[in-house]
């Protein structure tokens, strides 16, 4: 039974990833379709490829989803399944009505509601506001003392932890380059308030103001250009901004389900679920912690590039206490997200690309660049920010830089209501699913 539940979590998580892909496809490609730089089919293929590549980079969001929002002692395989089903239902509902709601917030709300039901209404199951000690990493120049401590042998790719004097030094080696980080005492603010609620409010504001300012700057810069020249130049530049947006979306969204699947695998391994499984299923067994000298798939891809194309890229130091994500989980989630993206989300594309504001290539470039930057920065900080919020508010900001009357407020109002309702609605459905599962005997206390 436990083996079946572990496999069920993987399957349902992949279904959610697929719906996330086609639900959020529009976020990455609506502007490039709305400006007619690419056809819908071309834009979807671009988004699928860049989503696939983006999923190989950055796992900070996965760690937040898997362990930073709810108390793990209330989370079982059955509870995770209920949460995922709730998030899938919300994705399908909002997709059907063409509302660009957040898949990230649907999953978060579902996890919160499921955990609360599992804890019989005990609010301690929710990590609302946590402040805990954390080692702050400060980048420093490689010192002779630290390099000597490494020895004369060849350096291994990845992370090496040293104790030099009274300092703990983390050395990252990649493609012949060395980066050193000294750990100093600091505090970390985490939990639902700091990782979800505050970013949920601030990221749309940043997206709106960023789109407004970028577009205002472009208007000032291009005021003497001929319209045909602007459209020709930014038609080409928008290809790059759309790829950047797709990459950031993959980096932010695909990692959520990687964390959930890895959490299920670790829990099943600890309870020896896979010991009696057939030999061909032993790859499912995993361990706690990360291999300090194992490059991620994204880092491996970069290492294959010529040095001049790596542009000084350095992987982030690996925390030995963090949970490593198996490579096959990364590949499986990335491919599923890409397949979902290829399926498209035409209803939402119409809302974002055509109904909110009339876009030209320069507007699309400004909106995509702003939104992708918001996603890249918050994703690296482990904040599961909504791709939908970022691109939608960026489009609003770009539209308002043109003139406030260009914005269609009735469409904006529908979108805002979808934002407000997403977390509580998904939480409510997940809560009811857990209670129903308890009644029918699927969940045992």
Q: Is the backbone of residue 311 left (phi > 0), alpha (psi -120 to 50) or beta? A: left
Largest Cα span, the chain:
73
Model pLDDT, residue 217? 92
- For residues 170 and 329, give the distance between their C-alpha atoms in angstroms, rounded to a whole number: 27
Give 334's Cβ-side CA count (13 Å radius): 24
Model pLDDT, residue 431? 95
pTM of the model: 0.79
Model pLDDT, residue 291? 66
pLDDT, one tens digit for every residue, the chain (445 residues):
677 888 888 899 898 888 877 776 666 677 777 777 887 778 778 888 888 888 777 666 766 776 667 887 888 888 889 999 999 998 888 777 777 677 888 888 999 999 999 998 888 888 888 766 665 666 666 666 656 665 545 556 777 777 766 667 777 878 777 777 776 666 767 778 888 888 888 888 898 899 999 999 999 998 889 988 988 899 889 889 988 988 888 887 777 778 788 777 777 777 777 777 777 777 777 766 566 667 777 777 888 888 878 877 777 766 665 656 787 888 888 888 888 877 765 555 555 555 555 678 888 899 889 999 998 888 777 777 877 778 888 888 888 887 776 666 776 776 677 778 888 999 999 999 999 999 998 887 6
- For residues 94 and 71, give the distance between their C-alpha atoms in angstroms, rounded to a whole number: 29
- For residues 321 and 298, give the distance between their C-alpha atoms in angstroms, rounded to a whole number: 21
Provide the token pair at 401: 């830089």
Q: Which of 294, 345, 331, 334 is nearest to 22 (CA)?
A: 345
Q: Where are the domains of the chain?
A: 2-129+191-288+323-439, 130-189+312-322
């Amino acid at each position: 039974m436990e083996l079946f539940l572990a496999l069920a979590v993987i399957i349902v998580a992949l279904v959610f990833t697929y719906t996330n892909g086609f639900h959020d496809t529009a976020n990455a490609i609506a502007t490039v379709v709305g400006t007619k730089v690419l056809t819908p089919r071309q834009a979807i293929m671009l988004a699928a490829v860049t989503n696939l590549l983006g999923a190989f980079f950055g796992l900070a969001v996965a760690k937040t989803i898997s362990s930073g929002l709810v108390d793990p002692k209330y989370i079982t395989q059955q509870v995770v399944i209920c949460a995922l089903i709730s998030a899938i239902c919300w994705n399908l509902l909002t997709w059907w009505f063409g509302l660009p709601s957040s898949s990230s917030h649907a999953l978060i709300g579902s996890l919160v509601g499921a955990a609360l039901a599992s804890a019989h209404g005990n609010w301690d199951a929710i990590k609302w506001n946590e402040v805990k000690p954390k080692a702050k990493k400060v980048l420093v120049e490689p010192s002779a003392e630290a390099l000597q401590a490494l020895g004369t042998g060849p350096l291994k790719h990845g992370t090496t932890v040293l104790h030099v004097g009274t300092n703990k030094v983390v050395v990252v080696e990649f493609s012949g380059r060395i980066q050193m980080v000294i750990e100093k005492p600091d505090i970390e603010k985490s939990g639902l308030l700091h990782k979800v609620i505050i970013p949920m409010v601030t990221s749309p504001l940043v997206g709106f103001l960023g789109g407004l300012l970028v577009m205002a700057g472009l208007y000032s810069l291009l005021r003497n250009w001929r319209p045909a020249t602007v459209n020709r130049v930014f038609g080409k530049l928008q290809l790059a901004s759309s790829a950047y947006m797709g990459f950031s979306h993959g980096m932010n969204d695909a990692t959520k389900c990687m964390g959930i699947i890895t959490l299920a695998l670790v829990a099943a391994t600890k309870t020896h679920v896979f010991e009696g499984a057939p030999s061909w299923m032993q790859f499912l067994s995993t361990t706690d912690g990360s291999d300090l000298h194992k490059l991620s798939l994204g880092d491996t891809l970069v290492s294959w590039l010529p040095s001049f194309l790596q542009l000084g890229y350095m992987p982030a130091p690996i925390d030995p206490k963090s949970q490593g994500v198996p490579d096959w989980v990364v590949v499986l989630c990335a491919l599923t997200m890409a397949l979902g993206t290829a399926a498209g989300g035409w209803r939402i594309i119409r809302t974002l690309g055509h109904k909110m504001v009339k876009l030209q290539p320069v507007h699309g470039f400004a909106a995509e660049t702003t939104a992708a930057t918001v996603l890249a920065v918050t994703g690296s900080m482990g904040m599961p920010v909504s791709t939908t919020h970022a691109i939608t508010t960026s489009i609003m900001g770009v539209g308002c830089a043109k003139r406030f009357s260009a914005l269609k407020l009735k469409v904006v109002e529908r979108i805002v209501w979808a934002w407000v309702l997403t977390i509580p609605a998904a939480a409510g459905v997940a809560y009811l699913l857990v209670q129903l599962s308890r009644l029918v005997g699927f969940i045992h206390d």
